[in-house]
Amino acid sequence: MVETTNISVEKIWKILETVTDPEVPVLSIIDLGIIRDVKSKRDEIEIFLTPTYSGCPATDAINMNIRMGLLENGFSKIKITQQLSPPWTTDWMTEKGKQKLKAYGIAPPHSKQIVCSPDSFQKEEAIQCPQCNSYSTRLISHFGSTACKALYQCNDCKEPFDYFKCH
Amino acid sequence: MDQLINYTLFLADNALIMGHRNSEWCGHGPILEQDIAISNIALDLIGQARNFYQYAATLIGNNATEDSLAYLRDVKEYKNCLLVEQPNADWAQTVLKQFFFSTFQYYLYQQLQNNNDEQLKAIAAKALKEVTYHVRWSSEWVIRLGDGTEESKKRIVKAVDELWMFTGELFEPASYELNTNIDFIFLKENWNKRIRSIFAEATIDVPAETSWHQSGGKIGNHSEHLGFILAEMQFLQRAYPNSEW
Ligand SMILES: [Zn+2]
């Protein structure tokens, strides 16, 4: 049996670091910034999770992976509470997470949050190509392979790439 | 309590039916990027619907679940506005429907995120960020088609003719919307302003505001289209009760 004092909360955070986002497997859910809190009460662990997008199909998979990870480490009473407010923002992604994204070939979200507005044909933010570091890139589509990404192309090396868009 | 449940179902049904309509494009979009775009919008909307249904289920109690609310209610119990159940027809009609609806959602959620119901407030605040992208995407398409070729112009103008009569219902409060603190006059003003500015850029005429319009969806009087949508969407759950993903 695992002892359930405050020490276990720290241990839980360590385990959660090994749970990854199935859609962007280089990122742990800690990197993503979706774990808001971990609480332990007697032998029960409660995890507060804020989903990235309302319809993100990864959310269910992440919930299951959290359960699996904790079960493997001897924790069996697990409650995952979805916390919608305040809404998740890419500002919550860790610096380490952003570096991992770039190394993986996905342009990380801007560190200075660019407010998305409904204005049509607005001037796009300059996104750096994760391959050749050029800033001469262009938006192909605001909607990419998953809800969190937009599709860009580099004008210099011509490679298309994903941009983890500000949210 | 009944009012809050009905209002939450109204928000859920709108998002679900619009999302379902969008999902019909999956694999059929005019080009790959736009196929992906509209499928992404479908996902966002179905996700929003799930959040609202989950909340409604907790209010209803009695073993109600998001699935029972989506899959086991009949046409007459659905509260979505008529606009979202209209067929996709061509791309022009699809993007115009999206533009009308997303603009409505955008200003509605802006008000809802300050609502005194904590859960509606939280769902709206989250969804608003997604809807912002939908408004932008659909506005750009309306402009592109209106200010495009002779053929694209003809199609978007036809789409306006087909869909305008379903927009009036959005601003006609049903009884369950009366205690929601939504300012319908402000909502309509904002919506109109945005429609006018995008139509101007798209060089499309805005129909007269006083023109006759259809209504009834909010109180369960739907067009024949909704029955077909539900038949497809609910088939599995009705044929194999209680099956789960
Ligand atoms: Zn490049």
Distance between CA atoms of A154 and A140, rounded to whole angstroms? 10
Cα distances (Å, whole numbers) of residue A85 to A112, B66, B123, B138, B148: 22, 20, 8, 27, 42
- Is there a contact between B123 and A84 if contact means CB atoms under 8 Å apart? yes
Ligand 1 geometric centre to CA of A160 (Å): 8
Taking only residues 32 to 91 of chain A, the set having a beta carbon closer than 8 angstroms to any beta carbon of chain B reads 51, 53-57, 84-88
Q: Has this prediction a pTM greater than 0.80? A: yes
Q: Is residue B245 part of a domain?
A: no
Strand partners, A151: A141, A162
Question: Domain A9-88's class?
Answer: alpha beta
Closest CA to B64 of B118, B18, B148, B8: B8
As given in the structure block, the two tokens for residue B17 are 């039916």
Angle, helices B91-112/B2-23, rounded to nearest 10 degrees:
150
Query: What is the per-residue burial (b if ≥16 Cβ within 10 Å, else e) of B77-116?
Result: ebbbbbbbbbebeebbbbbbbbbbbbbbbbbbbbbbbebe
Q: Is residue B62 part of a domain?
A: yes
Q: Which parts of chain A have pLDDT scores under 50?
A: 1-2, 4
Nearest CB to A118; choose among B37, B42, B132: B132
Q: Strand A137-141 vs strand A149-154: parallel, antiparallel, or unpaired?
A: antiparallel
Distance between CA atoms of B112 and B106, rounded to whole angstroms? 10
Torsion of CA A115, A124, A109, B132, to 10 degrees: 40
Distance between CA atoms of A142 and B207, rounded to whole angstroms? 30
Ligand 1 geometric centre to CA of A13 (Å): 36
What single string gives the DSSP state of each residue in A20-33?
A: EETTEEEEEHHHHT
Three-state DSSP state, A38: strand
Q: Is residue B34 part of a domain?
A: yes
Place of tokens 């008000």: B111
Q: What are phi and psi of A97, to 5 degrees?
A: -60, -45
Q: Is residue B235 part of a domain?
A: yes
Q: Is residue B212 part of a domain?
A: no
**CB of B170 closer than 8 Å to CB of B83:** yes
**Number of domains within chain B:** 1
Nearest CB to A54; choose among B106, B121, B130: B130
Per-residue pLDDT of chain B (245 residues; tens, 9 = 90+): 899 999 999 999 999 999 999 999 999 999 999 999 999 999 999 999 999 999 999 999 999 999 999 999 999 999 999 999 999 999 999 999 999 999 999 999 999 999 999 999 999 999 999 999 999 999 999 999 999 999 999 999 999 999 999 999 999 999 999 989 999 999 999 999 999 999 999 999 999 877 789 999 999 999 999 999 999 999 999 999 988 76
Give me the CATH number covering residue B188: 1.20.1260.10
The pLDDT of residue A1: 46
Domain boundaries of chain A, sorted by first residue: 9-88, 98-164
Closest CA to B59 of B102, B2, B21: B2
Taking only residues 148 to 167 of chain B, the set having a beta carbon closer than 8 angstroms to any beta carbon of chain A reads none
Containing structural domain, residue B34: 2-207+217-239
Distance between CA atoms of B220 and B79, rounded to whole angstroms? 5
- Cα first-last separation, chain A: 41
